[in-house]
Amino acid sequence: MIIFPHCKINIGLQVISRREDGFHDIATVFYPLPLTDVLEIITANKISFHATGIGIPGDEAGNLCLKAYHLLQKDFPDLPPVSIHLHKAIPIGAGLGGGSSDAAFTLRLLNEKYHLDLSEVQLSDYAIRLGSDCAFFLQDKPCYATGRGNELSPFTHGELSGYQLVVVCPDIHVDTAWAYSKIAAKTPSRSLPNLVSQPVANWRDVVINDFETPVFEVHPILAGIKEALYTRGAYYASMSGSGSAIFGIFPKDKRVNDLAFENAKLFFL
């Protein structure tokens, strides 16, 4: 059985406070994008994981897909061994949530394939144990996220189907823990849902990703990409998550497929 885990962008990202559990309370809008990995799971004699496409750093044994399998297997001991094949197309360390999506879709696929009969609420509970934003990838729709990014509510005002998006992924990896260490958490002066409810053309300079200031100081090329997207006519441009992907929202009829940046992959969506 094959499934296609999708990525996301953050429309605004406010870091509000540091929690007692070491995480941070945030406010953001998660918006799903049709840039996907490919995930296949088949029954096997022993558990195994194989990845192709973009190289995944670190020990394969620590991959979130395997962690998702073992998390379910603890509660469902009859879950058979499986072979997991993940083809990576979503850039890694770019703030697009590819790893979290792979984990969430592993839970979804195992639930469907082996008839575990888990409800959406139960699947979300498992997903949250794997990562703060994992539960979002079970939604398949824009969500306003608070708490660690795990408290989700539908967001209907940020529909972008009437626009074209360009996602620029430079060859830069931003460590999320480092990025959080550079943030001075603060209560925002304006509500993010109210800001994003305005027309997209009004978002510039008011819908802010708090990570841009520290990340752009270290990687000024990212600020240059953002400004270049505005120069080419983007209504709105921003970094996603803690970076390093930069996205631009353009009018549907704007010609942008000739855009190019050195040492960067571009996705036109």
Q: Answer whether 5's CB lies under 8 Å from 116's CB.
A: no
For 27-46, what is each residue's pLDDT tens digit?
A: 999 999 999 999 999 999 99
Q: Answer whether 19's CB lies under 8 Å from 148's CB.
A: yes
Angstrom CA distances, 126 to 79, 129, 135, 234, stand at 16, 5, 8, 38
pLDDT higher than 70, residue 158: no
Residue 151 is encoded by which pair of tokens?
């408290």
- From 37, 102, 133, 210, the catalytic residue: 133
Percent of the chain having pLDDT more than 90? 80
For 50-79, what is each residue's pLDDT tens digit?
A: 999 999 887 877 899 999 999 999 999 999
How sure is the predictor about 22, in pLDDT bands with cuts at 50, 70 and 90? confident
Helices (H), the chain: 64-75, 98-113, 120-130, 176-181, 192-196, 212-218, 220-231
Q: What is the mean pLDDT of the chain?
A: 94
The question of whether 133 is a catalytic residue gets the answer yes
For 159-180, what is each residue's pLDDT tens digit?
A: 788 899 999 999 999 988 899 9
- From 8, 37, 210, 226, the catalytic residue: 8
Position 264 scores a pLDDT of 94
Position 161 scores a pLDDT of 84
